[in-house]
Structure 1
Amino acid sequence: MITEADVRAALGTHTVPELLRRNAEEHGDLPALTGTDGNTLTWGELRERVLSVASGLHALGLRHGERLLIGMSSRPEHWIADLAAVELGAIPCTTYATLSPEQIRQVALHSAATVVVLEGPAELERWAPALAAMPGLKGVVVVEDVGDSGHTRFADLVAATGDAPPPANAAQDDPVTMIYTSGTTGDPKGVVLSHLNVLYQCALQELVQPTPANPRTVAYLPLAHIAERVLGIYLPIYTAGHVTICADSTKLLPTLVAVRPQAFFGVPRVWEKFAAGLQQMLTALDSDALRRARELAAEAYRIRATGDEPDAELAAELERADQEVLRPLRERIGLAEAVRLGSGAAPIPAEVLEFFGSLGMTVMEVWGLSETTGSATSTFRDDYRAGTVGRPMPGMEIKLADDGEILVRGPLVFLGYLQPDGQVKPAVDADGWLATGDIGAHDDNGLLRIIDRKKEMIITSHGKNIAPSAVESLLRAHPLIGYAVVVGDRRPYLTALIMLDEEAAPAWAKARGIAGVELKELAADPQVLAELAEGVERANAALSRPEQVKAYRVLDHAWSPASGELTPSLKLRRRVIEQRYAEVIEELYRGGSGA
């Protein structure tokens, strides 16, 4: 069993700048970062550019402890600007691209940032009101050519040959980054993380499930998200790995196939899309060999879930079937060489995990917050149950309050929230416990199960407490359903808003000869509605009577972070949805399901 002492021993006294220096000296010719244009920086080249930009930022006036805001898509300059700020002991913070000008202004003023790095003309336009309102702003850096804007060009920082800034001499307890939570229920807060927080997470990941030396990974989530910040920046620095940037989520699959990463983390929506695509493929490839291979893999998955290992006969037959049948399938999504697979940020349906189990893929489900540097708990390859988020990570402690709220303590708990005066205020109690806002319970084996967010629990007019995410997960198990939002607080029964899957629904319709494949047409098609009705009925069959959905509406359009119903990490913004669809919801309670 891995302990906190093991993790700390592996981590030593490393900080992010020290590891970057180590990589340049010991792995200088190895690839570090590949952009969307295919150009690759080695570790030596990456550190050289980081130091040049750090010198330029220092000349602009960025100093130790000050904040630097980044408004940029995923591109090498993003990594370089971030790490350059860390070299100075400043605190970099990436903002979500979906923020409105007013939200940008709020973050800009709250952070009291002194330097802002922006991508190009579009960002300059959106940020203009905020930049004008920032009293302590010392400089703005722009990556793309915007003419004579009066701002500093990023290329000039890279080419700078001025004096090197004084070394920050960072300590592990110093801040390394700040993340503004995406705010599903309230205003975002500035979560300040330390070098110890992020590198402890990296060290334990490698101890729990080691990857090969200098592993290949793909960065596709926003760098404002805690998962990508750890997996796309700090973990590759810790392992001297090679990151390939995928800035366009529609190109994730071909990027994975080209890179063949050795570790991959997917938010549930990504895994659900992969599952839907593979299921269609499996229908076309159906054969006795495929069915037998999946049966063997599913049986091994169930056996390992109990803590045992398949016997020699099953293991040998599965090994042959895996090489001949299942591995080629995993190659089709680029994950045949991935030794560490994870899911988190939102609940993932157990059926999706079991589906991948039948393909020889054990996806570990994690749970945590930005405030816990990502995963605070995880299932493990020899200790998992679909539908749970496992046990505490090495060094972390979990306990449940009287109302079921999960409390956590340990080295992954953040330094605190940034205050308007620039101070960082811890959010733990006198004993070091952080109240997470999530309600949980332990199963018979001691594995943690997330029930829902404390603020999102539904209490019906009959006094029944219902976790909406559990109901929504069962609904989303149907391949045609992309998202579902369950409503029912202070109501006599539950209703739901259902969004069709933008990829699976048109493909399903086309395979059945349905003429229209636009969501607006499919949402009214009798065959689609009949299939959805069966899906809702199956979900209801697995639920108690108070949890069952009595009426629902199939929406004829999609949700996205840009339209506001989803956070940038593809979680539901319930408050926004319930406000926007208030009239539709009232119709459902007047008896019109629209289905």
Structure 2
Amino acid sequence: MREFSVPALARCPKAEGLAESVYRTAQETPDKAVLARRNGDGWVDVDAAAFRDQVLAVAKGLLQSGIRFGDRVAVMARTRYEWTVLDYALWSLGAQPVPVYPTSSAEQLRWILADTRAVACVVEHEDHAMTVGSVCDGLTDLQHIWQLDAGALEQLALTGQAVPDEVVNQHRQAVVAETVATVIYTSGTTGRPKGCVLTHGNFLAEVENILARYGEVFDGRGGEEPATLLFLPLAHVFGRMIQVAAVRAGIRLGHEPSTAPADLLPALASFRPTFLLAVPYVFEKMLRRARQRAEESGRAAAFEKAYHAAVRYAEALERQAFDEGPGPSATLRMQHQLYESLVYGKVRAVLGGRLRYAMSGGSAMSREQALFFRGAGVTVLEGYGLTETTAAATANPPERVRFGTVGTPIPGTSVLIAEDGEVWVSGGQVFRGYLHDADSTGRTLRGGWLATGDLGHLDRNGYLHITGRKKEIIVTSGGKSVAPVALEDRIRTHPLVGHCALVGDDRPFVAALITLDAEALDHWLRVRGRPSLTPQEAAADPDIHAELQRAVLAANTAVSRAESVRAFRVLPIDFTEESGLLTPSLKLRRRAITRACAADIDALYSDAASAAH
């Protein structure tokens, strides 16, 4: 199949902006809990009227401070309640929030502030304020720096007390679908980040159709109020889209700034979401934590049996949904029921006990891991999208999930596979273009289609399979082209592996650079009665090397010999965002890795050549 389309389910309003839903919900259901704020170990609800009043107060303060329709205001912070207030206050004025990752370097921040001609910057804390101060020379448009931890929202509310509500309402009513909502900068896996111009209409086309098609995901079960805890960066389009969907649908929204298990798991347990969005890395961490706890309590064998029973159970349900089988056998149903109380219920309890669905994007998720979560009672719907598509372009339908794919086009979207295998997308959520970059816009937008740069194919049911990225294809010295992502993902499923990066351009074969997960390594050593190791010792340890060799060999079974990993090297470092080797959405920065690990790559191939002789 070369092209597949799904008709739109929702008509998006042309004369309405994103902030309208805040004011409408407050008028219709003022007492409805629409957000929740952290209060110690618990949460305090914020009703629709209180949220509207705070948005309005901040909007008035922004107006009094000189922010006008079309102005751009940078926001540099982690995911927190105040960001949502700021977004809707700025959208109430027709202004454009510009998200900046809190880990951005001074150079990256300066580029974004200069490129957008931002008139103000909101930061989270003093360190961010000092970073802005270090780059503001020559930024003549920048007039204000507000600091959230210093009470910026309260200060703005006081500043705007004398501004009549009607002035904000006049601005809000001037916002239409074609008005620019935000400029989001790509993560920049290659080259300088580009500013994606997204309109209010882009978000509305995306969110209205997702809410219409995936209502089962967002609705609470048995009368429960739907709720989601947002912990992915609001600087990323995925988190921003879910924020808009939650506010528009009146879904109770909480914020958690950390994805570290020590912070995230208690937050999930106390907030008790009914659905989540995450990247595969988070699900991998959750599964590793569950497996480690089972091993530490002497129940490793039972956990593995439960794990494989869940996978088989979910596979049987999948075949049944596609009329390819009768469903789980009686024996499998009995096994599944046995492990429900012993294992699966405990996994869900860690996630708050109410979670039924999760949405995953950003990178590929292991089919087997997704099957496990489905068998354990949490259906992970994998999707695919870009900043340029306002997040999701495709997603798995909840009633007919094809695990290992990124699903079918969301309503109102078409997917086309070009002659060279590149995935092209069209729909109302496709962006307007890159800010101040007509050349890149022209290369990306082609006759109503967005050329994504990703490679893939559509199966006979219209499900999209992503196989790699055009710019990431490895071409060996023998002329073999290899898409690295699938193999990297398979190797990364091993508990010891933190990250995996394939190399091999202009080399005789494909090899891998592997980093170790520090937490998993400590656990692995502890259960074997071994002392802790330094990163250098772990990288050279023969037992660890043998363990990873088995993971590489298992991954190689999925590809031909010419595409397989012939050698690997364990690194004494990890790939992190702080080191510049990962993007903020946790994708590999391949060029940066190749530069930083040049000596390791040379040694890897040199060692392999010596061994061959």
What TM-score do the two structures reach when normalised by structure 1? 0.91
238, 248, 266: which one pairs with 1:227?
A: 238
CA contact 1:218–1:256 (8 Å) conserved in 2: yes
Aligned length: 586
| Counterpart contact for 1:261–1:335, Cα < 8 Å | yes
Amino acid in structure 2 at the alignment position of 1:27: T
Query: Is contact 1:304–1:382 with CA below 8 Å preserved after alignment?
Result: no
Q: Structure 2 CA distance, aligned partners of 1:215 and 1:414?
A: 29
Q: Of residues 250, 274, 296 in structure 1, which corresponds to 2:286? A: 274
Deviations 1:346-378 (A, max 9, x none): 112222222323323331111110101111012
Question: Residues 368 and 124 of structure 1: is their aligned pair in 2 closer, same or farther, counting only changes over 3 Å?
Answer: same
Q: What is residue 559 of structure 1 aligned with on the other side?
A: 575
Q: Distance in 1 between matches of 2:570 and 2:334?
A: 45
Partner in structure 1 of residue 117 of structure 2:
112
User: Structure 1 residue 324: deviation in Å?
Assistant: 3.7
What is the match of residue 167 of structure 1?
Answer: 171
Is residue 2:247 matched to residue 1:237? yes
Match of 2:55 in 1: 50
Equivalent position SS for 1:353: helix
SS at match of 1:297: helix
Q: 1:280-291 alignment to 2 at 5 Å?
A: 280-282=292-294, 284-285=298-299, 286-287=301-302, 290=306
Q: Distance in 1 between matches of 2:22 and 2:50?
A: 11
In the other structure, the counterpart of 1:298 is 314
**SS of residue paired to 2:465:** strand
Partner residue in 1 for 2:91: 86
Question: Counterpart of 2:349 in structure 1: which amino acid?
Answer: R
Task: Select between 286-295 and 578-587 the one with higher mean Cα deviation.
Answer: 286-295
Matches within 5 A, 1:57-72: 57-72=62-77
- Higher relative contact order, structure no. (Cα contacts within 8 Å, ≥ 6 residues apart): 2
- Which residue is 2:507 aligned to? 491
| Matches of 1:565 and 1:475, distance apart in 2 | 18
Amino acid in structure 2 at the alignment position of 1:258: S
- Identity within the alignment, %: 34
Partner of residue 150, structure 1? none
Hey, what's the Cα distance between the residues in 2 that align with 1:117 and 1:291? Answer: 46
Give, in whole Å, the separation in 1 of the partners of 2:525 and 2:150: 45
1:577 aligns with 2:588: no
Which has the higher mean CA deviation after the structures are superposed, 119-128 or 196-205? 196-205
Q: Deviations over 1:204-258 (max 9, x none)?
A: 2223332226521111111111111111x20111111112211122211121122
Distance 1:424 1:526, change over 3 A: closer
AA matched with 2:254: T
- Separation (CA, whole Å) in 2 of partners of 1:593 and 1:539: 23
Q: How does 1:67-466 map to 2 (within 5 A)?
A: 67-145=72-150, 153-159=152-158, 160-164=160-164, 165=167, 166-169=170-173, 170-210=175-215, 211-212=218-219, 214-231=225-242, 233-250=243-260, 251-282=263-294, 284-285=298-299, 286-287=301-302, 290=306, 294=310, 297-304=313-320, 306-307=322-323, 314=330, 320-321=337-338, 324-325=341-342, 327-334=344-351, 336-419=353-436, 429=445, 431-466=447-482
**CA positional deviation for 1:42:** 2.3
CA contact (8 A) 2:6 2:413 kept: no
| 1:514-558 CA distance string (max 9 Å, x none) | 111554443233322221111112222332111111221111222
Report Cα offsets for 1:425-461 as digits up to 9, x if no partner: 6776463111111111233544221111111111111
Distance 1:64 1:307 in 2: 54
Q: Which runs of 5+ in 2 are unaligned?
A: none
CA RMSD of aligned residues (A): 2.9
Letter in structure 2 aligned against 1:47: R
**Is the Cα–Cα contact under 8 Å of residues 461 and 492 in structure 1 kept in the other structure?**
yes
Tell me by how many angstroms 1:409 deviates: 0.6
Deviations 1:131-175 (A, max 9, x none): 2321222322222339xxxxxx44221233121334332112222
> Secondary structure of 1:217's partner?
strand
1:26 deviates by 2.5
1:297 and 1:359 in contact (8 A); partners too: no
Task: Report the CA distance between 1:495 and its aligned residue.
Answer: 1.2
Work out whether residues 294 and 358 of structure 1, in 8 Å CA contact, stay in contact via their aligned partners in 2.
Answer: yes
Q: 1:468-493: per-residue Cα shift (whole Å, max 9, x none)? A: 11111121121211110000112110
The residue type paired with residue 274 of structure 1 is M
State the alpha-carbon separation in 1 of the partners of residues 351 and 259 from structure 2. Answer: 15
Task: Give the Å deviation of 1:316.
Answer: 7.2
Unaligned runs of 5+ in 1: 147-152
Q: CA deviation at 1:277?
A: 1.9
Seen in structure 2, the aligned counterparts of structure 1 residues 228 and 310 have a Cα distance that, compared at 3 Å, is: farther
